[in-house]
Amino acid sequence: MWGALLRRGVGGGGLRCLSSGGPPWSQVVSEAEKIVGYPTSFMSLRCLLSDELSNIAMQVRKLVGTKHPLLDTARGFVYDSRNNLQMRGLVVLLISKAAGPSTADLSFQHDMVSGIYSSQRSLAEITELIHTAFLVHRGIVNIGELKSCDGPLKDMQFGNKMAVLSGDFLLANACTSLAQLQNTKVVELISSAIGDLVQGIYYENSKSSEENCLTDDIGISRWKEQVFLRHSALLAKSCQAAMELAKHSAEIQDMAFQYGKHMSMSHKLHSDLQPFVKETSSDTMAFSLNSAPAILHQEFRGREAWLKQIRELQEAIKAGKGVTSAIDLCRCHGNRALAALERFPPSEARDALANIVYAVTRFP
């Protein structure tokens, strides 16, 4: 279905086809951070070191010894090589540098550092703060489903309060910084991305009790709509907003949006595929029945056959067409992201953006 696009790759401009592979993710991120000027793990440092958040961090220590998910989220802020929590801000900075200043308005070039406007750096921080706020909010647990081994009830209730308050604090900081950009279109774009996130998470939470049960018969098109809301809208609209801040044309803004959308779709597909493509994966390795390979497998097999196979699902997916089709789809979105990059002039930043795509479309 998507094989033809994979074989064609993208033309001109020197970006290589996905089939030729690329460097591993950790190397890609390290090289990209050098291009934008600093490690993006420090992007939100001013906020994270504020008195208010330091207070919150001290309170979160009270949860040590429990299984409250807010602890895992906090650890992820310090180091998370697999999920790279700061990836969104890094992409915003890279695409800002790749596009450069707009030829329509060169009056603000004095405000650029390493080829990036200060407003674009602020936008990258805002993007990370919004993403972090939603991660923290997702650390709220259902008190009614707790087990005694999770920790004392009062500690789990306290953890929920901390997740709500600290997530709200981060989101409020992001909204304040967004208003300070004084660009109505950018405010509209990022606000709509927050709305998309809320809508996507609402749907996800409404199905959370069914996570290890049968999926709805939604099909891959509906899956892509939901993934866009939860995982792609913020990055896609932030990339577009970065172009608006530099006064680039509507065409360049759309190409930035397309890169952000399709790269993040590839990233999600790559994550969904890990339980099925890792050479070291075991039969007990956790995977979601709402993941792309599972849904594509269901489409190929038919709903009735899928229901019969549910108890041996992981092996069935490995042996069926769901995995290969999901890999194809991942690389299809990757190629679309690369095609969007063709509108940007060759540069180190563009190469770094391409390497991010190559990294999230690499499979054993």
**2-31 pLDDT per residue, tens:** 343 333 344 445 666 665 566 777 788 888
Q: Round to whole Å and give the CA distance between 83 and 133.
A: 16
CA-closest candidate to residue 323, choices 259, 257, 275: 275
pLDDT for 173 equals 84
Q: Round to whole Å and give the CA distance between 120 and 114.
A: 12
* Neighbouring residues of 72: CB distance < 8 A, sequence distance ≥ 6: 139
Q: How many Cα neighbours within 13 Å face the side chain of 129?
A: 26
Average pLDDT over residues 146-161: 68
CB 92 within 8 A of CB 127: yes
**333-363 pLDDT per residue, tens:** 999 999 999 999 999 999 999 999 999 998 8
Length of the chain: 364
CB 316 within 8 A of CB 297: yes
Can you tell me whether residue 66 is helix, strand or coil? strand
pLDDT over 70 at 217, yes or no: no
Residue 222 token pair: 């509906």
CA dihedral 218, 224, 228, 232 (to 10 degrees): 140
Residue 231 token pair: 């995982």
Q: Round to whole Å and give the CA distance between 22 and 324.
A: 19
Which of 202-206, 223-227, 312-316 has maximum average pLDDT? Answer: 223-227
Give me the helices (H) in 138-216, please: 153-180, 184-206
**266-306 pLDDT per residue, tens:** 999 988 888 888 766 555 556 677 788 888 888 888 877 77
Residue 351 token pair: 């190469």
